[in-house]
Chains A and B, each alone.
Chain A
Amino acid sequence: MITWYAVSGAIEQGLVYGMMSLGVFMTFRLLDFPDLTVDGSLPLGAAVGSVCLAQGMPPFLALIPAAFAGFLAGSVTGILNTKFNILHLLASILTMTALYSVNIRIMGGPNLPLLGLPFVFSPLIEMGITPFLASPIVFGGFAMVAGALLFWFMQTETGQALIATGDNPKMIKSMGVNTHSMIILGVGLSNAMVAVSGALIAQNQGAADVNMGVGTIVAGLASIVVGETLFGSRAGGSSVGRCVVAVVLGSVVYRLAIAFALGIKVGEFSFQPSDLNLITSILVVFALILPQLQKRLRK
């Protein structure tokens, strides 16, 4: 059975991973750039944020270096792709792989526990709000701010050029936009969001771990397709506002679905947390082939 505690935990996770999903949305949908860097930039953000925290930086401030580190990682992928003509997928795999070593260097080991340190939601707890309400509130706030910022940015002159770069590079080049810069900027910003998300996740879990990023891209995609299916159109472009909301809600629904699946018991059988990546991949595969199946059925 699924408990109220599990539901609250799932919402909290959905919100804290929401910012990550927005980052993936930005590359995957807006820039048309499948970017696996995120599997490395999520723990990178966690590592940098946690080290800063451990050095005594206030928990909110510690997110800024994390964002910078994420941006840097993303722009490395962007540069490999644009300036050195490496296929986007391969470029991102290379960065992701390199980040594994970098992250261990940053943390001085494969993980970094954050015992007895102040977190972003600590002020609320001090005000007397129970922890299992405090963190969803704080993470919800973060998801809203991140969504609003992304929405705002995409309406700016630069953001519009970025969307057009993903949609029609030939056209936007003829309009005087340097598509290389746009890709580097876009993949950078995306990974900055993912890294901040990683830093928050580390605070939520009380530790940063080099393996916490495994499956990030697939979870992000799952949130996007769930959100698009349930709440909104799949087109990027002018409907960014709606997509942003759909992606964050999709992230929450996705985590709820996972919590629900983990609660299922059929006789002796029940899912384990380690089955999660399998379930998620199947979900994404299904969402990707669904439109094709529909087309075939209609014929």
Chain B
Amino acid sequence: MMLRLNGVRKYFGRGTINEVLALDGVTLDIEKGEFVCVIGSNGAGKSTLMNSIAGTFFPDEGSVVLQDNAITNWPEHKRAKFIGRVFQDPLSGTSANMTIEENMAIAMLRGKRRGLSRGVKPAHRELFQNRLKKLELGLENRLHDRVGLLSGGQRQALTMLMATLVRPDILLLDEHTAALDPKTAELILSLTRELVEELSLTTLMITHNMHHALAFGSRVIMMHRGRVIFDVRGEKVKSLTVDTLLESFHSVGIAEFSDRMLLV
């Protein structure tokens, strides 16, 4: 077992008129090597689920266990040792003012102590270049360029590399292709597949695209109003179709969203 969420409940604005129960007692076990795709309508609690794993905030109830560590009360930076993250906004995962190699050097130290030795170690440059070559974007020749000069797609590709430069126990992807044009999105997705296979990563990916969910997931989870309402894994995923997913959506009465999703 890689990750276990036990009855995780999360309120926003608790006690105010704007109170939202974003996670309503989610219990979830994720096995080592699983590729879990999370789907669900807007506001279903998908990002909140991911953030409660990453430690962006602490749950109001319930516990989070990562491997053998009870991390429920660990701050985000402490959990980062185990977790690789890629955000929806391609600008979120890199530092624009710093160069490509400086960004990668920061990623090399994820979860490690940072001291007074040189940040960018010359011995690492070859590794950086080799990783960048994989992208086929020519970034391997631009180690000294500021990341702010790169396109959104290039930055997201770099973020993918950075999230996996030190092998994470779990990779969290929150709609990481949603802000990209379709062609770039495909590129980032195939990079995702390559990296996940190469490093045999345990992955949690939020997506609005059901085709992607079915194509990538070894397990598909559907969320609605802060709950997991549908959870299919293993062989059964192969027999799933977009239509059956839509049916499950309809069965819980969220037709209004499913039509939108079909179009994606």
Contact = CB atoms under 8 A, between A and B. Distances in A.
Contacts of A97: none
A155 B111 contact: no
A174 B80 contact: yes
B105 A160 contact: yes
Contacts of A157: 105, 109, 114-119
Of the four ranges (under 10, 10 to 19, 20 to 34, 35 or more), the interface on chain A belongs to 20 to 34
A170 interface: yes
Interface string B68-89: 0000000111101101010100
A173 B87 CA distance: 13
A171 B117 contact: no
A interface, over-half SS: helix
Contact of B97 (A159, A167, A170): A167
A23 B85 CA distance: 33
Contacts of A167: 95-98
Interface in A148-199: 153, 155-161, 163-164, 167-168, 170-179
A155 B106 contact: no
Nearest to B84: A174
A171 B102 contact: no
Given A174-B76, A178-B77, A236-B97, A164 B115 contact: no
Contacts of B92: 168, 170-171
Contacts of B93: 171, 174
A277 interface: no
Nearest to B116: A156
Taking each of A161, A173, A176, which has the highest tally of chain B beta carbons within 10 Å of its own beta carbon? Answer: A176
Contact of B115 (A156, A174, A176, A178): A156
B164 interface: no
Interface residues on B, range: 35 or more
A176 B111 contact: yes
Contacts of A237: 95-99, 102, 146
B106 A164 contact: yes
B55 to A, nearest CB: 9
A176 B111 CA distance: 5
Nearest to A181: B77
B76 A159 contact: no
Contact of A171 (B83, B94, B109, B115): B94
A235 B97 contact: yes
Contact of B95 (A153, A159, A164, A173): A164
A171 B95 contact: yes
Interface in B29-79: 54, 75-78
Nearest to B96: A167
A168 B94 contact: yes
Most buried by A among B87, B97, B120: B97
A173 B80 contact: yes
A168 B116 CA distance: 21
Contacts of B94: 168, 171
A101 interface: no
A124 B148 CA distance: 47
Interface in A236-251: 236-238
A235 B149 CA distance: 12
B107 to A, nearest CB: 6
A36 B231 CA distance: 54
Interface string A200-226: 000000000000000000000000000
Contacts of B87: 170
A34 to B, nearest CB: 17
Contacts of A178: 75, 77
B110 A158 contact: no
A179 B77 CA distance: 8
A237 B114 CA distance: 17
B105 A238 contact: no
A238 B116 contact: no
B260 interface: no
B76 A163 contact: no
Ranked 6 nearest A-B pairs via Cβ: A237-B97, A176-B80, A160-B119, A157-B114, A176-B111, A167-B95
26 contacts: A155-B119, A156-B115, A156-B118, A156-B119, A157-B115, A157-B117, A158-B114, A158-B116, A160-B102, A161-B106, A163-B95, A163-B97, A164-B95, A171-B92, A171-B93, A174-B83, A174-B85, A174-B93, A177-B77, A235-B146, A237-B95, A237-B98, A237-B146, A238-B97, A238-B99, A238-B146
Given A153-B116, A156-B115, A238-B102, 7 more contacts: A157-B109, A173-B76, A176-B111, A237-B99, A237-B146, A238-B97, A238-B99
Interface of A: 153, 155-161, 163-164, 167-168, 170-179, 235-238
